[in-house]
């Protein structure tokens, strides 16, 4: 018998009470109350059980979870709002293929105004892009962004609207 065979025979194993697999003792957590000093379920099964238990608790106590979330938001509203703003901006800039720094430089360059109607928006400037090519076009207010979205970036429809308004 060689050294490798001898080593593999001397490795202590245990059967998990949940998945019923024979596993190395390293895969079981410590439990001093047990005779062998190991937890009866393997670490992966214990982890899955904890996740399932948390899901069940959250489902049963949905109103409590909601109340806790609202309390955390109210206690630190400015931080929550800043996080919401920054996460929107990071995602929007990534989608448009520009950096956050470039966004802020454009806002400064446009004096915080929409590049279509030249008005300052109530909230923030939206990142406009061509829906066919995905190419970034500029920063516009929400009203102009909704108009462009509703006409589907159609120049012909825009001309028809212009003629209608005359």
What residue ranges do the domains of the chain occupy? 95-165
pLDDT digits (tens, 9 = 90+) for 14-40: 999 999 999 999 999 999 998 889 999
Residue 58 and residue 65 in contact, taking contact as beta carbons nearer than 8 Å? yes
Q: Do residues 13 and 24 make contact, with C-beta atoms less than 8 angstroms apart?
A: yes
List CB contacts of 16: < 8 A, sequence separation 6 or more: 23, 28, 40, 41, 42, 45
Instruction: Say if residues 120 and 94 touch (Cβ distance below 8 Å).
Output: no
Query: 95-165: which CATH architecture?
Result: 3-Layer(aba) Sandwich (3.40)
The predicted model gives 73-89 an average pLDDT of: 76
Report residue 89 CA to chain centroid gap.
13
pTM as predicted: 0.49
According to DSSP, the residues that pair with 128 across neighbouring strands are 138
């Amino acid at each position: 018998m060689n050294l490798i065979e001898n080593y593999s025979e001397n490795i202590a194993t245990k059967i998990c009470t949940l998945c019923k697999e024979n596993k190395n003792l390293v895969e079981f957590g410590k439990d001093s109350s047990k005779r062998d000093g190991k937890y009866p379920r393997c670490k992966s099964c214990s982890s899955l059980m904890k996740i399932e238990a948390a899901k069940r608790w959250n489902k049963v106590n949905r109103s409590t979870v909601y109340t806790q979330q609202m309390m955390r938001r109210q206690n630190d509203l400015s931080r929550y709002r800043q996080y919401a703003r920054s996460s929107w901006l990071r995602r929007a800039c990534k989608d448009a293929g520009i950096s956050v720094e470039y966004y802020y430089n454009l806002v400064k360059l446009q004096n915080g105004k929409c590049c279509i109607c030249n008005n300052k928006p109530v909230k923030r400037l939206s990142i406009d892009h061509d829906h066919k090519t995905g190419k970034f076009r500029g920063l516009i207010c929400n009203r102009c962004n909704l108009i462009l979205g509703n006409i589907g970036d159609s120049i012909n429809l825009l001309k028809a609207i212009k003629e209608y308004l005359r």
